[in-house]
Chains A and B, each alone.
Chain A
Amino acid sequence: MDLFVVRHATAVPQRPDLPDEARPLTPEGRKRFQRAVRGMDRFGVRIDRLHHSPWLRAVETAELLTRLIDDGGETVVEPGLTRVPDEKLLASLVGERVAAVGHQPWLAELVSLLVCGSARHAARFDLRKGGLVWLQGELRPRRMTMRAFLPPAALRRI
């Protein structure tokens, strides 16, 4: 399978009167991510199942990604993307070309788990906001290889 791991785009900063899960994207973050999505499109990213965290910034990011979903594809709200990745999360990521939109540090831990076999090397995968990691292989620890690691600026230039 192809797994596209996408970190949410730039959201408004944390502040005391706004719960972390309710932070929306900034207008600039939205605009820049739209350009990144066009880059993903040109890069050949196609999705049949788009999983995303329920937090607002991930929902809004995933919405912008829906233009890459094939006919008949679907989106799935996935609470496992708001915590340390586990077996349940891996079992839920079903499909041939799957996207997972979520948050750091858990996305880097997911990439580390799937590529290196454990989450210990997560620090090596510094996924920027709006960035993409393209993995390919079997969705099990150490059974995936990295096809691309694209920061948002690179995506916007494609």
Chain B
Amino acid sequence: MIPSTTWLDSLKAYLAAAHEGGEEDVHQLRVATRRLSSWLKLARMRILRSDLRWLRAAGGGVRDIDVVLAQAPPEPLVVWLRGERATRLAHLFRVVAAPRTDALCVALGLLAPVDEGRARQVVPRLARRVLEVGGQLQLAPNDVESFHQLRRSVRGLRYALEWFDEKTGAFKEFQDISGRAADLSVALLLLDAYPDAAELADHRRQLEEEFAARRLEAVDAWPRLRETVDELA
């Protein structure tokens, strides 16, 4: 049997720490929501996943800014990003303090552990989904949406496997490579929202070139992971 306890405790701990607004706390809060969503998928439950998504989205606004600040962007952008972070952090604080968040933790805590044998039956479906989107990306290596879909589905499969304590080194390696590209796509999205983006045209070009290069690295890395995924499907 697989209880949700470890990651539910982690979620509660990071919810308690979130009021300090630290980068790592916000990041780990989001990770805990993903791990618990993965557990619900293994339990074949649709319920509570929207609530976890809602909580994750609130943290995501802050996390995106932290990711871009870590890339040492131009100074005018840094000033704007810091202001944006404060606004988004205030929203996160409201979400964390909302009765819905407390109710979510209560509801998750009442669910029975998942039967391992039944949960394992979900893995092949997740693996087939990874292979499907991986195939789409190979057909259209420049399709940004396929890239993001592959990245997300690989992460979902990895998190599912980790509930069984399985080794996921190959998945993590792919995630590290694709994550670097994803971080650059976040930077481009935030640059779109920056009011004086026109003044940073050179910076944008640089980001776009780097994003394209990193994304292709991920496309190249996919066949190495595919063999592992094939065995799971």
Contacts and interface: CB of A to CB of B under 8 A. Distances in A.
B210 to A, nearest CB: 34
A83 to B, nearest CB: 11
Of listed A52, A54, A56, residue having the most chain B CB within 10 A: A54
B47 interface: yes
A74 B52 CA distance: 11
Interface string A77-95: 1111000000000000000
A63 B45 contact: yes
A59 interface: yes
B191 to A, nearest CB: 29
A80 B107 CA distance: 13
- Categorize the interface residue count of chain A: 10 to 19
B104 interface: yes
A59 B110 contact: yes
Given A75-B51, A76-B51, A79-B99, A54 B45 contact: no
Contacts of A52: 47
A110 to B, nearest CB: 17
Nearest to A49: B50
Contacts of B167: none
A54 B101 CA distance: 11
Nearest to B43: A63
A22 interface: yes
B47 A21 contact: no
Task: Say whether chain B's binding surface is mostly helix, strand, loop, or mixed.
Answer: helix
Contact of A77 (B46, B51, B112): B51
A75 B45 CA distance: 11
Given A21-B110, A22-B110, A56-B111, A77 B103 contact: yes
B106 interface: yes
Contacts of A127: none
Nearest to A79: B103
B100 interface: yes
A69 B41 CA distance: 17
B188 interface: no
Contacts of B50: 74-76
B176 interface: no
Nearest to B52: A77
Of listed A56, A66, A78, A79, residue having the most chain B CB within 10 A: A79
Interface in B97-122: 99-100, 102-104, 106-107, 110-112
A76 B98 CA distance: 13
A12 B84 CA distance: 50
Contact of B107 (A59, A69, A74): A59
A152 interface: no
A78 B101 CA distance: 9
B221 interface: no
Interface of B: 45-51, 99-100, 102-104, 106-107, 110-112
26 contacts: A21-B110, A22-B110, A24-B112, A54-B103, A54-B104, A54-B106, A54-B107, A54-B110, A55-B107, A55-B110, A56-B110, A59-B48, A59-B107, A59-B110, A62-B47, A75-B47, A75-B49, A75-B51, A76-B100, A77-B100, A77-B103, A77-B107, A78-B100, A79-B102, A79-B103, A80-B99
